[in-house]
A and B are shown apart, each in its own frame.
Chain A
Amino acid sequence: MTAVRPLLQTRNLKAGYQGREVVRRVDLTVRRGEVVCLLGPNGAGKTTTLLTIAGELAPVDGIVMFDNVPTFTPMYQRIRGGIGLVTEERLVFTKMSARDNLRIGGGSVERALALFPELEPRLSVRGGMLSGGEQQMLALARALSLDPKLLLADELSLGLAPKIVDRLLGAVRKAADDEGTGALIVEQHARKALKYADRMYLMARGQVLLELPADEAIERLDEIEEAYLRGTSETEEDHFEHKRRKDKKKVWRRLRVRERELSRLTGRTVSTRREQDDDYYLEIERQRRDRSMRARK
C-alpha cells in the first residue's frame, strides 16, 4: 500500500474508435516521480490507451482517474489541469515560430529553454522548418515548461536519431526525478525506453499482459521480445472473432425461438443448444444466408 495517491489510475478501461473496441480491461497506475513505459507490438492498443487517458477518445467503459478523481472532461481541460501530452505527430504548429509554439500553451519560454538550451538559436524559425528532432524537443519542452503533474508521451522516438532519443528520454527522467512528474511513455524501442523507466506494462491484443519493474524487464527482454513484441498483434483476427460471436448470437436467438415454439407445441422443454456445436450452427447460418441469396435470384 503506497502512502502516496497514484497520479493516474485507470480502472477496467475499455476504449476504441467508433464502436470498434480496441482495448479491454486495462488497469494502469502511475505514481509521482515515476516513469512508466507501455510496450507492445504494432496494433496492440497502446496509442488508443494513451489517447483515451488524454481525453481525446471517450472511454467505452471504465474510468480514468487523476489524483483519485474520476475525470470525464475534454482533452484541453485535462491539459490545462496539469497533463502534458506529446505524440508522434509532434504537435508543432508549422506556420508559427518556435517561440510562439512555446508560448501557446501559456508556459514560459525561459523555462522551456532551460530544459532544452539547444532550441535557443532556433526560436524565430517557423515550426515547419525545424528538423524532426527539434520539433519533438519543442513539443516536449512546451509540455514540460507547464510543469505537468503527469506527462503522456506517444512514440516520442519515432523516426529520430538515437542521440536525440536519449536527450528526450533523459529530459523526461529528469523531470520525474527533480519535479516529481509522473510519466507514461509509449515506445517501440523497448530496450532504450526501459533504460529510463521505472516500470513497464506490456500490452498485446488490446490487453495488459504483464507488469514488471524496468530492471527485471531488461533482464528478461529477450524472452519477452520472443513471446510478444514480434510482428503485429492480430487485432484483425479479433475483429473477425467478434463478428463470429455476433453471428453465433443471432443463430442462438433463432434457435431459442424455435425451442419456445417446440415447447409450446409439445409441452416439453427442449434444448437444442450446445456450446460445442457452435461451428455447426455457424455453418448452418452461412448456408442459410447463401440459400436465401440464391432464392432471391
Chain B
Amino acid sequence: MNEIIRFALLGLGVGALYAFGSQGLIVVYRGTGVLNFSLGATAIAGVFVQWELQYEHGWPFLAASAGGVALSALLGALTHWVIMRPLRRASSLVRVIATLGVLITVQAGVVIRYGSAPKQVDSWLPTDRVTLWGEVSITADRIILTLIASVSALLLWLLYRASQFGLATEAVSESERSASAVGVSPNQIAVLNWALGSGLAAVAGILVVPIITLQVTSMTALVLAALAAALIADFRSFPIATAAGIGLGIGQTLVGRFVDQQGLGPSLPFLVIIAFLVFRGRSLPLRDYFLRELPMIGNGRMSWDWTIFGSLAVIFLMLTKSPKWVDALTVSLGVSIVLLSIVVLTGYAGQLSLAQYSIAGFGAWVAGRLVAVYDIPFLLALVAGVVAAVPLGLAFALPAVRTRGINLAIVTLGLGTTMELMLFRNRNYTGGVQGTQVGNPDLFGFDIGSINHPARYGIFTLAMAVGAVWVVSNMRRGRSGRRLIAVRTNERAAAALGIDVRAAKLFAFAFAAAIAALGGIILAFRLSSISYQSFTSFTSVTYVGLALVGGVGHLLGAFVGGLMATAGINQEVLESTWGGVGRWTQLISGIAILLTVLAYQDGVAAEWVKIFRFFKKSRKWGRSYIIELADVSAPETDEGELTRVPPMSLTMESLTVRYGAVTAVDGVSHKVEPGRVTGLIGPNGAGKTSLIDALSGFASAEGRVMLNDVDLSSLSATKRARAGLARSFQSLELFEDATVFENISVAADPQDLTSYLRDLVWPINPLFPPGVVRAIKEFRLDEDLHRDVKDLSYGKRRLLAIARAVAMHPSVLLLDEPAAGLSSAESAELARVVRRLADDWGMAVLVVEHDMEFVMGVCDEVIVLDFGSLIASGPPEQVQSNPAVIAAYLGDESDDDDPDNAERSTVSAIGGAL
C-alpha cells in the first residue's frame, strides 16, 4: 500500500505539468477556438530564455523567469496577430496546421540557439524530503507544484467567472459577431488569451523543467498528453482539467510501476482521450462552425502524357544521379504515397486524421516482421502489410462515425501515439536493439535492394507511386469518389440522396490505410534493418501539414508535399547548394509551411491547377472538359412510360416534433397523393421546415410516417431516401466543389457497395437513364453539365438542387422553398416544371413556399401550419379565404385599431406579410 502511495505521489510532478498544460490549452481555446499545438514550443522557448538569463547572464531566478514568461507570452500574442488573425475564416484544418507551422518554426529557432542536447537544471523549489507519515515521504517540490497548479486553476476560474475580461471571453467564444456588437473587440480578447495561455505554459515549464530535464521536444510531447485533461474538462473548466491532469500524472506512474507492459504508462493519457471521445454519447464541445469551409479539391483526372513524361524524367534522374540523390527521390516518392492517403481521407472524404503515418508504420511492421521472422518473399509481405492495414483503418474509422472535425483529429492522434508508444518503441515486438532485419527486398529473385541498387528500388517506388495515383484517381472519378465528396460537403445532403454515410466513411479510412501502408512499407524497406521508432505520431501531424501545403485536394498535391519531406528532394537541393544549411532546414521548412498556409490556403497544387485550367480554357485544349448530355445518356427506349415513377402516397399520422420544451410540429396528420402538388404554407417559425425534416428523417418525431403501407417512422434518412422519398433543402446544400454532372450523378447512381471495390480499378461513368436525362432537360441544365457548381448563377443552383432530388427518381418529392430568391420569370418557369413532375411523372409533391403566386398557381391542395398545428387544408381558393388563415398571417396586425384592414387585405396580406 505504501508503495502505491509513494508512486502516486511521485506522479504529482508530471501531473502538475499536465494540469498547467491543459490550463494553457483551455485559455487559448476559450479565447479563440483554436487547438494550439504550438503551446509546448512557445513554452519551451520561454524556459530556455529563462535558463540563459539565469545561468549565462547571472540574473536572479525571478527576474529571469519574468523574462522567459514575457517572451512566451509575446510569442503567443504574435502567433495570433501574424498567423491566426489572417486565417480566422480559414478551415479548422488550416488553422491547426498553422499552429503546427509555428511549433516547427519556434522549435527550430530554439535548437539553433541552444542546441538539442538535454540540460539538467537545478530546482528552485526546495527538494528536501518531507515525511508525510510512517515511511511515506516525498520531495517538497512536488507538493508545492501541485499547490501552485491548484492555485492557478482557482485564479483562472475566478478570472473567467467574475471579471469583465472573463465575460468578454465567454461572449467571444459564443459568437464573435455578437461580442463585437456589444463593444467587445474579439481580436483584443484573442490576443490576451493567447498571451495568457502561452505565459502560463512557460511558468509551468520553468517550474517543472528540473524534474523532466530541459530539452527542446520534452514540452511538446507533454502538452499533447495534456490534451487529455483539457478534453475531460470539455475545454472549459479549469478545476476539472487540473484535477484530471494530476490524476493522469498519478495514474501514469502507477501504471508504469505495476503493469508490465512497456509504453502503457506514457500512453495512458491517449488511451483516456480515445475512451473519452468514443464512449461519450453527447455532442462535443469544440466549435465546429468554421469546419464548413473546406479546402478545394480537384477532379481527380490523371493526365497520362504528363504522368509518362514525369516518370521518364524521374527514371532518367535515378539512372544518372549519385545514390544520394536517388535516395532523396525515393524518399520523396514514398512520402508522396503516404500523403496520397491523406488526400483521399482528408481531401476527398473530409475526415481529418492525424495518424496516417502511424498506420503506414503498422503496415511496415507487419511486412517487416513477416519477412524477418517467417522469411516470406518481399512482394507477398508487401501485399500482406497493405491488407493488414485495412482492418486497422476500419478500427480508426469507428470514432469517425461518431465524431467530426477536430475531435476526430484528437482521437486519431491518440490512437497513433498509443501505437507508437506501445508497439513501435517496444523492442520485444520490433526485433530488439538492432531493429528488424529484413535484408534486401527482391522481386521474383531480382534484387531491388536500395543498398546495392538504389536506382532499381527507386524505379520500383516510382511504379508503386504511379499505381497508387492511378487507383486513387479511379476512385475519385467513380461512384465512390462522388459519394465521399457528398459526405465531405454535407452529411445531411448525402443522407438525403440515399448515401450510407457510415459506409462511405469506413471505406475512406480503409482505403486510405491501405495506401498509407504501401507508402510505409516502401519507406521502411529502403534499409535492410528497420527501426520503427521513426514512425512517430508527430510525423503523422507533420505529414498532414505537408499534404496541406502541397494541396490536400489534388493528386498532384501529394507529390508537391512529398518534395518537402525530411531527407527528400528539397532538402537535398538545399544541402547541395549551400553546405551549412543543415541546421537551418527545420526553420526554413517551418517558415515555408507558415507562408504557404497564409498565401495559398488550398495548397500549392491548387494554384497550379488554377493556372493550368486557365490555359486549358483559353486555348482550345479543353475539349475533354465539356460534357455533352448525349454522351452520358443511356440509349433511349420508349420514353414516356419509363419516366413515370411508381405511384406512392405519403401519409403522416399525428406527427409531432419537439425541440426541448418547444413543440415545433404538433400532431399533424395529412396524406399527400401521387400526381398531386400539395402546398405547405404558414408564417415564419410555424414548423414547416421541421415537418419536412421529420418526414425525411432528419428530425426525430413522434407519430407515423407511411409511404404507401410501409412504415418509415423508424428508418434513417438514408433508408427513407432509398425507399423513394426525396427532398430538397432550403439552403440548397449542393456539393460546391463538384461539377453539375457529378452532383446529378451522385443522386442517379445506384447505391451499391460493390462499386467501392470496382471503382479502384474500373470507374464507371454513369449513363443516365431516360428519367434523369429528361430531368436534366426539364431543368435546362444540359449545357452546364461540365460547370462547377460555384460558377453557376443563383437561379441555376436552385434548379440544380431540385433536379438533383428528381434524379433519384423518387415517388414523393419534398421541396423546401424552391422559389426563394428566384425572379418572377424564373419562378413561373419553376412552377411549370413542378406541375409537370406531378402530371407527367406522377410524383407526389409537397412544396413549402412563401411566394403565394407560386403556391396558388401550382398547387392542387394547400395546407396551412401555424404554431406547429394544421389550421386549414383544402383547394387554394378555399384556403385563401379562410378566416383562420388570414388571422394567422396577419398575426400581430389583427389586434390593430383598424378593423376594416383585415377584410380588405385578404390577398395582399398573404402576399405581403409573409
Contact = CB atoms under 8 A, between A and B. Distances in A.
B893 interface: yes
Contacts of A268: none
Contact of A296 (B184, B626, B898, B912): B626
A119 interface: no
B182 A105 contact: yes
B892 A161 contact: yes
A91 B908 CA distance: 32
Q: Which of B180, B183, B185, B851 has the most CB of A within 10 A?
A: B183
Contacts of A226: 908
Contacts of A74: 180, 185
A85 B623 CA distance: 54
B181 A229 contact: no
A189 B683 CA distance: 14
B576 interface: no
Interface in B741-778: none
Contacts of A156: none
A192 interface: yes
Interface residues of B, number: 45
A95 B182 contact: no
B178 interface: yes
A158 B891 CA distance: 11
A56 interface: yes
A246 interface: no
A295 B619 CA distance: 12
A214 B301 CA distance: 63
B912 A96 contact: no
B620 interface: yes
A236 interface: yes
Given A93-B170, A96-B170, A236-B821, A76 B180 contact: yes
Contacts of A43: 821
A74 B176 CA distance: 13
A106 interface: yes
A103 interface: yes
The size bracket of the interface on A is: 35 or more
Contacts of A191: 893, 896, 898
A142 interface: yes
A277 interface: no
Contacts of B180: 56, 74-76, 79
A148 B791 CA distance: 44
B563 to A, nearest CB: 34
A225 B793 contact: no
A87 B164 CA distance: 23
B912 A236 contact: no
B821 A297 contact: no
Contact of A93 (B175, B851, B892): B175
A253 interface: no
B794 interface: yes
A92 B793 CA distance: 35
Contacts of B183: 76-77, 79-80, 105-106, 146
Contact of B628 (A89, A93, A236, A297): A297
Interface string B18-34: 00000000000000000
Nearest to A89: B178
A192 B892 contact: yes
Contacts of A165: 892
A296 B898 CA distance: 66
Interface of A: 41, 43, 54, 56, 74-77, 79-80, 85, 87, 89, 91-96, 100, 103-106, 142, 146, 157-162, 165, 188-189, 191-192, 225-226, 229-231, 234, 236-237, 239-240, 243, 293, 295-297
6 A-B pairs closest in CB distance: A162-B892, A79-B183, A76-B180, A105-B182, A80-B183, A237-B823
30 contacts: A56-B177, A74-B185, A76-B181, A76-B183, A85-B181, A85-B182, A87-B181, A91-B178, A92-B178, A96-B170, A96-B174, A100-B167, A103-B164, A103-B167, A104-B164, A105-B182, A157-B892, A162-B895, A189-B893, A192-B893, A225-B908, A230-B911, A236-B821, A236-B823, A239-B793, A239-B794, A240-B823, A293-B626, A293-B783, A296-B620
